[in-house]
Chains A and B, each alone.
Chain A
Amino acid sequence: MKRHPSEAELGLWMTGGPDEGIGTHLEECAVCADVCTQLTEQGDTLPDVLVDALTPDHRLEDRVMDGVSATLAGRAATEAFLELFGVGVETAKVVFGQEDQS
């Protein structure tokens, strides 16, 4: 599209009207992008169905808390094991190193 689309055309495009190059034009034209921004601000919020569809149930926080706590506890246990294992390896090196030297 060589000319700037009218506000009506932009409004129509944003609500599903014909494209006719408007989408491409918007990527390059800050003026029309600003008009779209204003139209967006004036427009209705998204349909309730979208809000509903992306809304979790009321127990989400409890499940997340349980999962995160279990993950953190598991990692802490793993880190403790690896630390002990590391100590064990170092100890073995010292012991067997001493035996080798004896």
Chain B
Amino acid sequence: MGRDDDDELRALVDEHARAAYRVALAIVRDAALAEDVVQETIVKVWRNLDTFREAGSQRGWVLRIAHNTAVSTLRTIRDVAHDPTTMPEVATAIGPDRRATGRIAMGALDGALAAMDPISRSVVVLRELEGLSYDEIAAALELPITTVKTRLFRARRELAIALEDWA
């Protein structure tokens, strides 16, 4: 790759890696796996950048690839090991002062996320963390808008129950 390509790739990573990571981590629930998903997502995006012709935003396109890659990764893992309790503990970026509280909360959060299907996890992240509109989420995940809304209501409810001590 030339210097221009390097700069363009770096710009792509800087713009999308964090959002892709949040979507991936919500689905695969493992920090190292989520980073692998992000790398694979960026590689796919990079190699198909010239063919991007979608009516929606590039962000939505990237996050859809991240979602699909994460779901595919999760399926592969489940094929290899059916027992979800063998999955590694979720790594977090919680600071030292909040680590103790965070660990307890992470248990509840991880349980709540585990109880949701991958699509619901993505809906929560895309809406609550990435701020996408219902239309954008529906386009990114290729779902009817009513399904997006229903999944979001259910997901919020499940998280509220799991995290009521921290809400």
Contact A49:B150 (CB < 8 A) given known A16-B161, A63-B35, A64-B39: no
Chain B interface mostly helix, strand, loop or mixed?
A: helix
**Which of A26-34, A82-90, A94-102 has 4 or more CB atoms under 8 Å from chain B?**
A26-34
Q: Verify B14–A61 contact, CB threshold 8 A.
A: yes
Interface centre among A15, A52, A54 (most CB of B within 10 A): A54
Interface assignment of A21: CB less than 8 Å from any CB of chain B: no
8 contacts between A and B (CB under 8 A): A47-B159, A49-B105, A53-B25, A55-B18, A55-B93, A61-B13, A72-B1, A72-B46
**Which of B48-56, B57-65, B76-84, B123-131 has 4 or more CB atoms under 8 Å from chain A?**
B123-131
Interface assignment of A68: CB less than 8 Å from any CB of chain B: yes
Q: Verify A64–B150 contact, CB threshold 8 A.
A: no
Interface assignment of B115: CB less than 8 Å from any CB of chain A: no
Interface assignment of A37: CB less than 8 Å from any CB of chain B: yes
A88–B89 alpha-carbon span in the complex (Å): 49
Interface of A with B (CB < 8 Å)? 13-16, 23, 26-27, 30, 33, 36-37, 40, 43-57, 60-61, 63-65, 67-69, 71-73
Interface assignment of B87: CB less than 8 Å from any CB of chain A: no
Contact with B166, one of A43, A47, A55, A69 (Cβ below 8 angstroms)? A47
Q: Verify B13–A56 contact, CB threshold 8 A.
A: no
Contact size range, B: 35 or more
Q: What residue in chain B is nearest A53 (Cβ atoms)?
A: B92
Contact A53:B128 (CB < 8 A) given known A40-B153, A72-B46: no
Chain A interface mostly helix, strand, loop or mixed?
A: helix
A60–B161 alpha-carbon span in the complex (Å): 31
A72–B12 alpha-carbon span in the complex (Å): 14
Q: How far apart are A44's CB and chain B's nearest CB, in angstroms?
A: 7
Complex interface residues of chain B between 111 and 167 (CB less than 8 A to chain A)? 124-125, 128-129, 134, 146, 149-150, 152-154, 156-157, 159-161, 163-164, 166-167
Q: Verify A15–B1 contact, CB threshold 8 A.
A: no
Q: What residue in chain B is nearest A13 (Cβ atoms)?
A: B157
Residues of A close to B152: CB separation below 8 A: 40
Residues of B close to A54: CB separation below 8 A: 21-22, 25-26, 125, 129
Interface assignment of B9: CB less than 8 Å from any CB of chain A: yes
